[in-house]
Amino acid sequence: MPGKLLVIDDDTAERAALKVKLTSAAYEVSQTGSGKEALRIARRDLPDMILLDNTLPDMSGLDLCRRLKTDRRMAEVPVIMIGSRNDPTARIAALEAGAEDMIARPLDDLALLARIRSILRARGVAAELALREGTRQALGFAEPAGEFVQAGRICLIAADQGTAGLWRRELMDRLRDRIEICTPAQALREAGKVAPDLFVIAADLSRDGEGLMLLSELRSRPATRHAGIIMAVDSAVPASAAMALDMGASDIVSLPLDFTELALRLKVQLARKRQGDRLRSRVRDGLQMAVTDPLTGLYNRRYAMSHLARVRERAIAAERSFAVMLIDLDNFKQVNDTHGHTAGDQVLKSVAGTLGANLRAVDLVARIGGEEFIAILPNILPEAALKAAERLRAAVCASPITLPHVSDQTGPVSLIQTVSIGLVTGGGPEETEMSLAELLHRADKRLYGAKKRGRNRVCVSASGRAAA
C-alpha cells in the first residue's frame, strides 16, 4: 500500500465515494463521520494523511484540525480540508489552522490524487531525513546550538515584468524576506550558484506550459533540487495543477493570486526548506563524523579499510600494483609521559599534516589507531612506493614540532618525531588469493621489522618477499 488515509466526513455517500476513489488508487482507507471518533482512530492508526470535511456534527473541521496539530503524535500528519465551495477566506483559515490545503467540491479526481501523491512524497523525504537525524543523535553527536534565522530569498517568475512587479509589491507588505524578480534564463543560471530558497513560477509564461518546463529543469539541477517551488496555475485548468505537483512542485496557488494566501504558503514552504536544509546538513556532518578521526581530521580505520578493499579490487582487475604502508610513531609513549597528552595530541596532528602533504592527491592517509597511520597508494610501482615511504619518513624527521606550554616549562618545547614504516606492494593476478587480512599482516610484520632494526626506517615486502 502506498499510504494509509483517514477520511472524515459526516455525509455517508460522499465518504463512500471518496473511499472508492482512493482505494482504486491502492491507498488503505479508514473513515468516520465524527470528530471525536476521528481523534480516536487517528491516534490509534497514525495515518499518513487525513482528508477532513469542513463541517462535522460534533465540531468544526477547523477545530479538529487544530486539535490534531496540537497533539504531539499527530502534529506532522498532513491534513487536506474539503469545503463545500471555493471560498478564499475559508482556505486561508484552513492554512492558518495547519492544514496543507483546502479543496472545494466537486472534487477533481486528477488534482486530488496528484495533491495526495505530492504531500506523501514530501512527507516521506522529511521522515527519512528525520530518521537519519535520530540515528545521528543516537550515535552521540550533540545537537547544534540554535542559530539566528536569516530572512529567506524568494524569486518571482511571472508572465511579464509588470505582473512580477505587482507580486513583489504585494508580498513585500506581508513578508520580511528578500524578494527578487527574475527571468527563466536567470533562474537557470542560478542553478550553478547559490540558489534562492523558494521560487514562485507562473505555469504559463511567454508560452503555454513554459513554467512547467522550468519547474522540471530546476528540479533536475543539484543547486535548485531542494528549493521550494510554488506554481501559480489557472484554476480553470485543473490538469495544470496535477501536472505541476507530479513534476515536483512543492505547492500550488490559483490565479489570480490571493496574496494573503500566497504569503501563508510561502512561510510554510520556507520553514520546511530550512528544516530540510538543517537535516541534510546534519546527516552529511554525521556521515563525515562517522568516517573521520576527530583529532587529526584524517579518515579513520572504518573508511580506510573500505577504501583499501576497493583499491585492491581495481588493482587486480587492471593488473596494476598498489602499495600499503603502516606508519607508527616511534617512542610516542615517552612524549605523553614527559610532556602530557595535550602535547601528544599536537604531535599526532603535526605528523598527520606532514604525511598528507607529502603524498599524491590520489593517495589516502588515515589514522587507524592511537599513534598508527595507514597510507594507501593506488597504481604505483614498487620502486616508486619505496621512494614515497622514504620521503614520508624523511619529511617527518625534518619537521620539528613545537609543543604547547606545559606546567614545568617556561616556554614552548620543540622536538623531532620519527616514524617507522612497514611497506607492502602488491596487485596483479598473483594477488587474487591474498586477503586484506593477509596483506595487513605482512605490512604489520614489516613495521615490526623496522622497529626491531632501530626505528626511523622503512621495511618493505613485495608480493610476499621481505627485504630490509
Residue 366 identity:
A
Show the cell assigned to 245: 505537483
- The answer to whether the beta carbons of residues 212 and 243 sit under 8 Å apart is yes
Cα torsion 68, 72, 75, 77 to 10°: value is: -90
Q: Centre a 10 Å sphere on the Cβ of residue 261 and count the other Cβ atoms it contains.
A: 18
Q: Centre a 10 Å sphere on the Cβ of residue 179 and count the other Cβ atoms it contains.
A: 24
Partners of residue 4 on adjacent β-strands: 28
Catalytic residue among 100, 190, 371, 431: 371
Distances (CA, A) of 448 to 305, 326, 327, 349: 20, 10, 10, 23
Distances (CA, A) of 405 to 389, 398, 400: 32, 22, 16
Q: Centre a 10 Å sphere on the Cβ of residue 270 and count the other Cβ atoms it contains.
A: 20
- The answer to whether the beta carbons of residues 264 and 327 sit under 8 Å apart is no
Partners of residue 156 on adjacent β-strands: 181, 200
371 is catalytic: yes
Give the catalytic positions in this structure.
Answer: 371
